Amino acid sequence: KIIYKSEYRPQIHYSPKGNWMNDPNGMVYYEGEYHLFYQHTPHDTRPDFSRMHWGHAVSNDLVHWDELPPAIPPGEDGAIFSGCAVVDKNNTSGFFNEEGSGLVAIYTNDGNSAQPGKPQVQSIAYSKDKGRTWTKYEGNPILFPTETLDFRDPKVFWHEESLNWVMVLAVRDRVEFYTSSNLKEWSFASDFGSDIPGIHRGIFECPEVFKIQVDEDSDTTKWILILSVGDRNGVNPNDSEPPAGGSGMMYFIGDFNGKVFTLDETLESFDTIKWIDYGSDFYAAVTWDGIPNEDGRKIWVGWMNNWRYASTLPSKEWRGHMSIPREIQLRTYSEGLRLTQAPITELNQLRRPNLSLQDITIKPDTNVLSAVSAAKMEIIAEFEIGTAIEFGFRVRKSSSSNQETVIGYHVLNEELFVDRTKSNDVDFHPDFAAKHKAPMKLEHERIQLSIYVDWSSVEVFGNNGTTVISDMIFPNLESTGLELYTLGGELKVVSLQINDLVSIWEN
Ligand code: FRU
């Protein structure tokens, strides 16, 4: 595990031992294991799209991961792009006549990167040994495009109400739904998105649809449509753009009847589009399939990156890492329903309490945290706004230079922000040095924050996960200082807890 000690290497996030990684794929829970497949170029630290594989890791707790050999390699059929995996419990595919059940992966074969003009198609493969080896189906491909080369990233789930498999697919500037009884033959059901004004400025990728309970104590459920959007096709000024630019994720709340997704409200313009994350590094997230019913949680990870600069990151023997796994909930607020994200409770096993404070008032130009030194940590805090105009944390601070990453709240603007302009290595791409802001209302004059800091990232969950900012940073390892600051007036710290975090690679 020595390799995980090199510069910038994430200590509490998954990254492959070496070389390139992008989207999480095929996330499925099966016979006691969580599988994480991912877009992987095992021979290069840059993305080689014509030779894209599915990399593979497994975990018992979603926190500690074992990397396995790449699961699905490219071949005559083209590169293996993003997709999903399902448990075929009742052998609907007929692949598991002896075993009774098994895993089926549904993914995009990309031919276009090697042979321009060759369209993307969908294919399947099956595994009878808990995802260790895969056989590509002889009848591949199982789905062809009709009019566009961009036809990819299938996410499939079992729709209990109609007793069918449903696939949602990204098709340039819309998504398409298909249904199937056997995972091999698919019929077009409907599409969504092309008639929503200003919905996007580029290209749709990695869609998902799932059912979720509204609030913890209700019987109501809703359907959520998730979309990753990328900016490959230039800018239309009337179209939406992810809040931090480049690659971003949006979501829609509505209903799904097995064939058609209908929005709860009519979207007038892109102002009403709901964004998942206000940082620049959370993309292509989709949820784990097959999590046991009694658990009931919706859990996902995203690729902590942005296509704008992904292949220029200053890491050396590998490029790309995942976010921490997050639980998604749908909760009712005065302004309506809202998707929230929170670190999964399994992460709590990494905590080693460092410091805790309660009911103190702090003044400008003092730092009650000057004794703390940590390159990775969890910060959980609740503040009551006194006369402060802005307050927050300066993390990964250097004692010898002005290196720092600021995670703060601006009271008058009611804005949460991450400022990484002074976070050290920021010059590898002109879009990297930036301050990312997110609207976040004060609730009863209070603000709650949960923050995960790692060797090369910060993930900020504001007001119990209603507002999230995920950003990579590349500070020196010696930058371990921490400061709690307030500007313009006093701030009351209702509670503050700092936990050191044990590296997930330590045992
Ligand atoms: C999203 C994406 C997908 C595609 C994959 C290729 O980041 O562009 O649309 O399948 O990455 O690696």
Please tell me whether residue 481 adopts helix, strand or coil conformation: strand
Tell me the two tokens of residue 118.
Answer: 């060759």
Please tell me whether residue 345 adopts helix, strand or coil conformation: helix
Separation of CA 100 and ligand 1 centre (Å): 33
Pocket test for ligand 1, best of 150, 152, 169, 307 (most atoms within 8 A of CB): 152
- pLDDT band of residue 196 (cuts 50, 70, 90) is confident
> Which pLDDT does position 266 carry in this prediction?
65
* HEC sequence for 35-89: EEEEEEECCCCCCCHHHCEEEEEEECCCCCCEEEEEEECCECCEEEEEEEEEEEC
> Which pLDDT does position 145 carry in this prediction?
82
pLDDT tens digits along 99-118 = 999 999 999 999 888 888 88
User: Do residues 408 and 391 make contact, with C-beta atoms less than 8 angstroms apart?
Assistant: yes
ipTM score: 0.98
Q: Quote the CA–CA distance of 215 and 223 in Å, as a whole number.
A: 13
Segments of 398-490 assigned E as strands: 405-410, 415-419, 435-439, 446-454, 457-462, 467-472, 481-487
φ, ψ dihedrals at 393, nearest 5°: -115, 140
pLDDT tens digits along 138-184 = 999 999 987 778 899 999 999 999 999 999 999 988 999 999 999 99
> Which pLDDT does position 293 carry in this prediction?
79
Ligand 1: nearest atom to the Cα of 23: 7
- pLDDT band of residue 438 (cuts 50, 70, 90) is very high
- pLDDT band of residue 2 (cuts 50, 70, 90) is confident
> Which pLDDT does position 267 carry in this prediction?
62
Ligand 1 pocket residues where CB is under 6 Å:
22-23, 39, 52, 81-82, 108, 152-153, 205-206, 284
- Residues in a beta bridge with 409: 391, 416
For the chain, the structural domain boundaries read 17-144, 346-501
Which of 188, 103, 200, 96 minimizes the C-alpha distance to 147? 188
Which position has the higher pLDDT, 226 or 266?
226
Contacts of 183 (CB under 8 A, 6+ apart): 86, 88, 92, 93, 104, 106, 124, 142, 156, 165
Ligand 1: nearest atom to the Cα of 205: 9
One-letter amino acid identity for 353? P
> Which pLDDT does position 268 carry in this prediction?
59
Q: What is the pTM of this model?
A: 0.97
Residue 23 annotated among the catalytic residues of the structure: yes
pLDDT tens digits along 220-234 = 999 999 999 987 655
Classified by CATH at the fold level, domain 17-144 comes out as Tachylectin-2; Chain A (2.115.10)
CATH of domain 346-501: 2.60.120.560
